[in-house]
Amino acid sequence: MIKANNIVKIYNQHKQNELKVLNGIDLDIAEGELCTIIGKSGSGKSTLLKCLSGLEGVTSGQISINDRDIQSFTSKETNEFRRQDIAFVFQEYNLIDDLTLHENIYLENEPTETIENLIDVWDIRKAINLFPMQCSGGQQQKAAILRALAKESKIIFCDEPTGALDGKSSQEVLTVLQAIQKSHRSTIILITHNEQITKISDRVITIHDGNKISDRKNVNVELAELLEW
Ligand SMILES: Nc1ncnc2c1ncn2[C@@H]1O[C@H](COP(=O)(O)OP(=O)(O)OP(=O)(O)O)[C@@H](O)[C@H]1O
């Protein structure tokens, strides 16, 4: 479903500050997989996620999603792809400053009962009419995740979606992601620093200095089965 063939990413190519961040990565992620990407800070994880989702162009190599080469998209196709096919949860949330959390969540979609329910279950109702600057990091992160979920895309890219959350909130968010993966057969690609989170994934990819150094299948454990959190 998501295939990457020998992708290389060089920032600022041919300039003094040129930096090679991805060194020829191959990937093949199946539909409905929950795949986690781990690796130390600066190893290239976010860059890989942005390239796989088409938010960042690659320097060389090919990326295809559902057998469509995403580099060959016209700008209209790129816009449609971003609007309809994928959702992206950014590490730094990327909420719009002068819109409330509610307006941010429903930026591109109409309110749904499911999302309204999650606003209550995830306990952000009290902040829903505030602007991002007036909210905690955790409240903003939950809003960013809800904005992605509201799109009901088949592919969800998440860059450290629980980085600002405490243990209980992380569990609540991951429970929902795992449920969506199972009920909608959504493909979820998630960057994390948390070893516990890798246990709920079907597959764990380790990146080191821009190289894929391990790619292993995992027994996808139900969150409830995790003893320690
Ligand atoms: N737009 C950019 N322009 C230039 N260099 C960049 C850009 N984005 C990232 N980099 C550099 O690429 C390298 C990899 O960054 P990246 O964010 O992909 O790593 P990461 O593994 O996700 O790190 P972290 O776990 O800290 O988020 C870093 O050295 C970073 O400074």
Q: Is 14 inside any structural domain?
A: no
How many Å lie between the centroid of ligand 1 and the Cα of residue 130?
31
Q: Is there an atom of ligand 1 within 6 Å of 87 CB? A: no
| C-alpha to C-alpha distance for 24 and 5, rounded to whole angstroms | 8
* The predicted structure's pLDDT at residue 227: 43
| Domain count across the chain | 1
Q: Is there an atom of ligand 1 within 6 Å of 40 CB? A: no
Q: Is there an atom of ligand 1 within 6 Å of 161 CB? A: no
Q: Is 100 inside any structural domain?
A: yes
Q: Are 14 and 179 in contact (CB under 8 A)?
A: no
Report the half-sphere exposure of 94 (CA within 13 A, side-chain side).
13
Domain that holds residue 95: 31-50+85-225
How many Å lie between the centroid of ligand 1 and the Cα of residue 116?
34
How many Å lie between the centroid of ligand 1 and the Cα of residue 45?
8
Q: pTM for this structure? A: 0.93
Q: Is 1 inside any structural domain?
A: no
15-25: per-residue pLDDT in tens?
999 999 999 99
77-127: per-residue pLDDT in tens?
999 999 999 999 999 999 999 999 999 999 999 999 999 999 999 999 999
Q: Is 127 inside any structural domain?
A: yes
Q: Is 180 inside any structural domain?
A: yes
Q: Is there an atom of ligand 1 within 6 Å of 210 CB? A: no
CA-closest candidate to residue 212, choices 35, 91, 39, 18: 39
Q: Is 167 inside any structural domain?
A: yes
Q: Is 140 inside any structural domain?
A: yes
Q: Are 39 and 55 in contact (CB under 8 A)?
A: no
Q: Are 6 and 71 in contact (CB under 8 A)?
A: no
| C-alpha to C-alpha distance for 68 and 85, rounded to whole angstroms | 12
CA 153 to each of CA 11, 109, 147, 157, 180: distance values in angstroms, whole numbers, following the listed order: 29, 11, 11, 10, 10
Q: Is there an atom of ligand 1 within 6 Å of 43 CB? A: yes
Average pLDDT estimate for 169-184: 89
Q: Are 115 and 146 in contact (CB under 8 A)?
A: yes
What is the residue-averaged pLDDT of the chain? 93
131-147: per-residue pLDDT in tens?
999 999 999 999 999 99
Give nearest CA residue, ligand 1 atom 31: 42
Confidence of residue 197 (pLDDT cuts 50, 70, 90): confident
* The predicted structure's pLDDT at residue 199: 87
Q: CATH number of the domain that 144 lies in? A: 3.40.50.300
* The predicted structure's pLDDT at residue 229: 45
Q: Is 65 inside any structural domain?
A: no
